[in-house]
């Protein structure tokens, strides 16, 4: 979920949002916690409740019903910014 979210969103995030995202993916000791917060299976702790978490929750809803069966290829990391 995080890698697909990153591919779709990192290139348009502000520096502040990138810092929040970095903190979100690196500080919790259990990646499953992030998944549970993003899917609203568990409440998000106050220290991670921010606009990036809201974006991740919205992404997790998959309103377009996209197939998300595998992680994206890493080539997107080397594409020029749009």
- Render pLDDT for 15-57 as a digit per residue (tens, 0 to 9): 999 999 999 999 999 999 999 999 999 999 999 999 999 999 9
**How much is the pTM?**
0.78
Q: Compute the average pLDDT of residues 11-16.
A: 96
Fold annotation for 1-77 = DNA polymerase; domain 1 (1.10.150)
Residue 20 CB contacts under 8 Å (≥ 6 apart), including other chains: 50, 51, 52, 53
Which residue ranges make up each domain of the chain?
Answer: 1-77
Burial of 48 (0-12, 13-18, 19+ CB in 10 A): middle
pLDDT classification of 80: cutoffs 50, 70, 90 = low
């Amino acid at each position: 979920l995080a890698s697909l979210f990153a591919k779709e969103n990192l290139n348009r995030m502000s520096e502040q949002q990138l810092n929040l995202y970095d903190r979100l993916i690196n500080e919790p000791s259990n990646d499953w916690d992030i998944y549970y917060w993003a899917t609203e299976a568990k409440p998000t702790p106050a220290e991670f409740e921010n606009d990036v978490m809201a974006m991740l929750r919205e992404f997790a809803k998959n309103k377009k019903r996209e197939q998300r069966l595998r992680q994206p290829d890493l080539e997107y990391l080397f594409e020029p910014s749009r």
